[in-house]
Structure 1
């Protein structure tokens, strides 16, 4: 019984060391630090993506309301950007065309989100 416990402890230690990358490469040299995930999205890109998606959906339906920002997964600041972008797109649609309004949504969402997160984003809380 004691032998089984020792083997289990050894197996768990081996798995833990291998999973955390502490086991080394076997050559005596330490393993390189893991690189960031290639799927990581910057805050400004995430902001622009979600605002573009919601603005496009609201714009295409012709809805004059905006909806609840929390159910959209937006912060208050992102919601303000959404409203400003949609207002400008609606003006552009009346002035130019539906397509011009869509292009404006994409451009302004990207610009406004880049500005919002230029210094790393808001620091007063997650919903600002």
Structure 2
């Protein structure tokens, strides 16, 4: 075996970094008229960031399942995906439902269910603010 990370791990890490950066920082530029300085957008709400991460990684994992030779997500753990333990619990539950939906109704239905369930479960998780219990909870 060669040395260094597998190409899929580097691509997955880059995708996670880009997703997190876009969600947290946004894309603000200077005022087109040049009269006001650029302002930083507000960070994404925790439930929105959670939903975006779950939908992204569920899609990657479901797609890898459709192509058995592709194991891009098969060796990623929740921390390398940028998820907390609680977010990983949501991902696993959403994946279980999405896989059943995919078998019954196909990939489009599975993606739709993933988006709905991720939003519902993340909203529930963050309904009272950020969960406590440690930085990765």
TM range (shorter): 0.5 to 0.7
Which structure 2 residue ranges, 5 or more long, are not aligned? 1-38, 66-70
- 1:55–1:82 Cα contact (<8 Å) kept: yes
Distance in 2 between the 1:118 and 1:83 partners?
20
Distance in 1 between the 2:74 and 2:87 partners?
16
Distance in 2 between the 1:84 and 1:90 partners?
10
Look up the match of 2:44. 41
TM-score by length of 2: 0.63
> Post-superposition shift, 1:67?
2.9
1:81-100 equivalent positions in 2, closer than 5 A: 81-100=90-109
Distance in 2 between the 1:39 and 1:59 partners?
32
Look up the match of 2:80. 71
1:107-122 equivalent positions in 2, closer than 5 A: 107-122=116-131
Greater Rg, structure 1 or structure 2? 1
TM-score by length of 1: 0.67
Say which SS state the counterpart of residue 71 (structure 1) adopts.
coil
Distance in 2 between the 1:106 and 1:127 partners?
23
Say which SS state the counterpart of residue 132 (structure 2) adopts.
coil
Say which SS state the counterpart of residue 74 (structure 1) adopts.
coil
Say which SS state the counterpart of residue 113 (structure 1) adopts.
helix
Aligned pairs, number = 93
Distance in 2 between the 1:66 and 1:55 partners?
14
> Post-superposition shift, 1:70?
0.7
Match of 1:61 among 46, 59, 64: 64
